[in-house]
Chains A and B, each alone.
Chain A
Amino acid sequence: MNARAVAAWSACCLFIVLSTTNPIYKVLVLAAALCALAAGAGLRRPRRLLFAVVLIAAFAMVLNFVSAHLGATVLFALPDQIPALGGPYTLEALVFGASGGITIAAAILAAAPFSLLLDSHEVMDALPAPLSRTGVAIASSLNLVPAVATSFVEVTEAQRLRGWRPRGPRSWLEVVVPVVLTSVEGSIQLAESMEARGFGSGARTSMASQAMGRADWLLVAASGLALAGFAIAHAAGWAADWIPYPTLTLPTMNAVPIAACLLLFAPVVVWRSRR
């Protein structure tokens, strides 16, 4: 699996899901991203991410339902005197909120292969040569993330046993400060280690091969076709946008943008190596 091919697929997913308001195409992209993750990682490994995505999407839907008092189909109403919450609650706001939730979920899942299917160094190796030093710095800092999580657990436990109890935001300083200090010190030690191995000497070479295999090229080609197909459909008016206000209507469909979205299912065929 080549990070550049993954990047091409993710970029195409993001382009489609962010460039249209039509929920049919968004749902197709969401389904493609879900199937791609399942093909590459199975369903067990990303279960926490999936749970978080469902929560975030539900929150987006509820937020729009509660805050956008627009639309003709009133489901119920709260008195206008109630600050922020008062006013009519409409079916249009609920459906538009759901569409927003699908957008967020699809965008997150389209980017998820970078963390779930690739190592950080594979992502950074894919950066263009002028950014390679920046990439190494980012990759190495990502290596510190698990250490920060471990520090947080250790500090919380140790401070509790020294008599600390969570009593409001200020009390958390006694946990947060040591965690931050430990993280900073860890970063400095890592920087020292990198300096001792000549980091920053000048132009670098890389052991990583950026050669793409047949499956990677297939993915890039499918993504490119999907992007071009959807862009043309959008320009030609075949991928019409959808606005639920003031009265809810069904979104329109067209074969060309649907075919473009179906091309995003290509990872289901090519990602079978990292379960």
Chain B
Amino acid sequence: MAIATLTHLTYWYPGAATPALKDVCLEIDEGLTVVAGESGGGKSTLLRVLNGLVPHFHGGRIAGRAEVLGLDVIATPTRSMARRVGFVFQDPELQTVYNVVDREVAFGLENMAVPRRELAGRVEEALGAAGIADLAGRAVRTLSGGERQRVALASALAMRPRLVVLDEPTSQLDPDGARMVLAAATSLVDEGRSVVISEHRLDDLLQKAAGLVVVERGNVTTADPRGWSGPAPSLRPARVAAAGGEAWALENISAGFDGRLVLDGVDLAGHSGEVVVLSGPNGGGKTTLLRLIAGSLAPLGGDVWRRPGRVAYLPQNPTVLLHRPTVRSEVSFTLERSGEVGRPEKILAELGLLAVADRYPRDLSSGERQRAALAAVLPGSPALVLLDEPTRGIDSSARAALIALVGRLRDRGASVVMATHDDDLRNALADRVIHVSDGKVAEMSFAVAT
């Protein structure tokens, strides 16, 4: 039975000349439905139609019809849809209203004016359904990313929605956090709810999915989830130059902030023409290690040494970089400031960004923004390349482009250090893998795929 029916639905964001969704005719049945497709293709827009955020929150123009759980989406405001459709967003940090888990989960119920005597019971029920009953009473700021995202899920479940929509809920999480969230989301189907989820980690989900919706450049099609063949693992770029001398070194480093020791007694070095991958749980110290190598963070003790040359650094939240009027000017800015000669179009083409080169970078989808930020930091010939979760939210084709680009920089003699949870990226590029956890580092045995 269909829970959502979209009929010839076309949607334009405010000021956009081309529609983000084009003449969509779609039926979503009960159970688990997976939404897949390239970044920037329109997945998030489609999901937001299901609870009316598109068009009611985002504005713009809409044509056609959308009916979800018997409600006309175009005529029903999101705040009314919220009683039937729960929504979980990508970034767990940007959907928290209160500082305490119970209050956060109760937020939607308070908005619906559920009597106070019922709130505690409903919150307890929602926490149980999300598998986080033990987090009751905890301060949100003390939770890991995976726990926060499950609090967001519980917040949606508290309103007892028939449909739960999740927009790339694991894109910011480490593998353990992602597993926790996906397990909680899929268990909802066993409880009789319907779930629509957009994800890049498709393997496990597709085994349980009743439907698969593919969104590409605003066009929406359906496919058999069992017959869907995901992208092939990325190929390891052939090495054309051997690794060279030492490019950076940390000697007996301790580092931390706010009175907390994050790294303690770390000795580590990297070479030119080498790719070092940092793995480990969120909060383990990977970002601190990258900032130390970059020279952005002064160590509390020990020495940091770096070979002279330009440092290209992609921060964990790369979009904070973007402030120029176009993607092209972001690249030009870095080239000019670093005194390097080059055309922005080269790296834009490599990362598949030529089509959006003249667009305002913050108007792009999250995956496109990630690529724009990569283009902004990686043009020219940096001596040291430091990337913090470079594949966050990007699709397989963008990952392949990044792998080729990093391989080229490595062969030119750049020393590359990446913090990543992405197994495909690690397998394609890593020469060494360093596990960073609880303030310590340890080299992991790692077989290079051939």
State the A residues within 8 Å of B (CB). Answer: 119-121, 136, 139-140, 143, 146-147, 151, 154-155, 157-164, 174, 177-179, 181-182, 185-186, 189-208
Contacts and interface: CB of A to CB of B under 8 A. Distances in A.
Contacts of B107: 136, 194, 197, 199
B111 A121 contact: no
Nearest to B384: A161
A143 B97 contact: yes
B99 A121 contact: yes
B322 interface: yes
Contacts of A155: 320-321
A207 B103 contact: yes
A190 B362 contact: no
Interface in B260-317: 291, 294, 296, 311-313, 315-317
Query: Lowest 3 A-B CB distances belong to which pairs?
Result: A163-B337, A193-B95, A197-B108
A190 B291 CA distance: 28
Interface residues of B, number: 65
Contact of A162 (B53, B79, B110, B376): B376
Nearest to A146: B141
A119 to B, nearest CB: 5
A200 to B, nearest CB: 5
A161 B87 contact: no
A132 to B, nearest CB: 9
Contacts of A120: 99
Nearest to A206: B110
Interface of B: 51, 53, 56-57, 78-80, 82-83, 86-87, 89, 91, 93-100, 102-103, 106-116, 119-120, 123, 141, 152, 155-156, 159, 291, 294, 296, 311-313, 315-317, 319-323, 333-334, 336-339, 362, 376-377
Contacts of A181: 322-323, 362
Nearest to A196: B87
B94 A198 contact: no
A204 B110 contact: yes
9 contacts: A158-B313, A158-B320, A163-B334, A192-B57, A198-B79, A198-B83, A198-B112, A200-B111, A207-B119
Nearest to A200: B79
A202 B82 contact: no
A221 B120 CA distance: 31
Given A139-B98, A204-B111, A195 B337 contact: no
Given A155-B320, A199-B111, A205 B119 contact: yes
A121 B103 contact: yes
Contacts of B103: 121, 207-208
Contact of B53 (A178, A195, A205): A195
Nearest to A202: B113
A192 B53 contact: yes
Contacts of B311: 161
Contacts of A194: 97, 107
B156 to A, nearest CB: 7
B95 A162 contact: no
A185 B362 CA distance: 9
A206 to B, nearest CB: 6
A153 to B, nearest CB: 9
A102 to B, nearest CB: 31
Nearest to B97: A140
Contact of B315 (A157, A174, A190, A193): A157
A13 B276 CA distance: 59
A129 to B, nearest CB: 12
Contact of A195 (B57, B96, B312, B313): B57
Given A140-B98, A158-B377, A193-B152, 9 more contacts: A161-B313, A163-B337, A163-B338, A185-B319, A190-B96, A192-B53, A196-B82, A198-B108, A201-B80
A179 B320 contact: yes
B94 A189 contact: yes
A198 B294 contact: no
Given A189-B94, A196-B78, A206 B323 contact: no
A159 B97 contact: no
Nearest to A151: B320
A206 B39 CA distance: 39
B299 to A, nearest CB: 15
Contacts of A207: 102-103, 106, 109-110, 116, 119-120, 123
Contact of A121 (B53, B79, B100, B156): B100
A119 B140 CA distance: 12
Nearest to B259: A44
A189 B95 contact: yes
B115 A205 contact: yes
Given A154-B315, A198-B79, A147 B93 contact: yes
B296 A161 contact: yes
Contacts of A202: 113
Contacts of A204: 110-111, 113
Contacts of B362: 181, 185
A198 B80 CA distance: 7
Given A157-B294, A160-B296, A119 B110 contact: no
A193 B73 CA distance: 17
A164 B108 CA distance: 44
B78 A195 contact: yes
Given A154-B317, A199-B111, A205 B95 contact: no
Contacts of A119: 99-100
Given A195-B57, A207-B106, A201 B97 contact: no
Contacts of A179: 320
B113 A205 contact: yes
A1 to B, nearest CB: 14
